Every structure is written in C-alpha cells, then in structure tokens.
Amino acid sequence: MQKKWGMTLLLLAIIVVMSSCRTPAGRTPGEVVDDATITTKVKAKLFEENVLKGMAISVDTFEGQVTLTGAVDTGQQKERAGEITRGVYGVKKVNNLLNIKKK
C-alpha cells in the first residue's frame, strides 16, 4: 500500500513539474515546439521554390514571428520569400530582412 502511495506522489510531482516548466524567455515547451515547427515548414517551402534555390536564407522564429535574413539576387526573390513565409500556418508576422546582392 505504501508503495502505491509513493508512486502516486512521484507521478503527481512529475506532472506538476512538467506543467510548470518554462524556458528562460518564459515560453512553455509547446510554444518552443511550435516555433521550431514553423521554422522547419518555412525552410522547406523556401527550398521547394525554384526561384529561391541556392539562396542563402536563414529563418528564425520566436512566438510565431519569423525573421528572414541572408541575401538574394533580386527584389522579386525577396518579395517571394516573404509571401511564402506569410503563407505558412502559425506565422503571425514576417520580418523580411533579406538583402539584395549588388552586382
């Protein structure tokens, strides 16, 4: 009987600790996973786009806000990267900081 109570208390303690976990930025593990998922989806969509193949584009996501950095050849490529990013589920805002390479 004591063993059952001990296990029950241990499980309860684990649940309490897990539900109160937050990152240093104050986000829950679920929010972090969501940002990672958004980043992965944006990167995949950008990679699939023929116009953007071979471009050095970095994607960073925090609380659904996506920041694009790097360099592209034309203004059209910069605009297209922003459009693709805005179309990904979960994206709240896009900071398109892509630079256009000088020729």
Query: pLDDT tens across 46-82, in order?
Result: 999 998 888 889 999 998 999 999 999 999 999 999 9
Please report, to the nearest 10 degrees, the dihedral formed by the alpha carbons of residues 52, 38, 94, 76 taken in order. 10
Both tokens assigned to 50: 């023929």
Beta bridge partners of 68: 59, 96
Closest CA relative to residue 96, chosen from 59, 63, 49: 59
Residues 6+ apart with CB under 8 A from 49: 80, 81, 84
What are the two backbone dihedrals, phi and then psi, of residue 87, each rounded to the nearest 5 degrees?
-80, -5
Residue 83's pLDDT band, with cuts at 50, 70 and 90, is: very high
Predicted structure pTM score? 0.70
Closest CA relative to residue 70, chosen from 45, 93, 44, 43: 43
**Residue 25: pLDDT above 90?**
no
* pLDDT recorded at residue 10: 72
* CATH code of the domain made up of 24-100: 3.30.1340.30
R_g of the chain computed on alpha carbons? 21
**Residue 19: pLDDT above 90?**
no
Mean pLDDT for the chain overall:
83
User: What whole-number distance in Å separates Cα of residue 30 and Cα of residue 36?
Assistant: 10
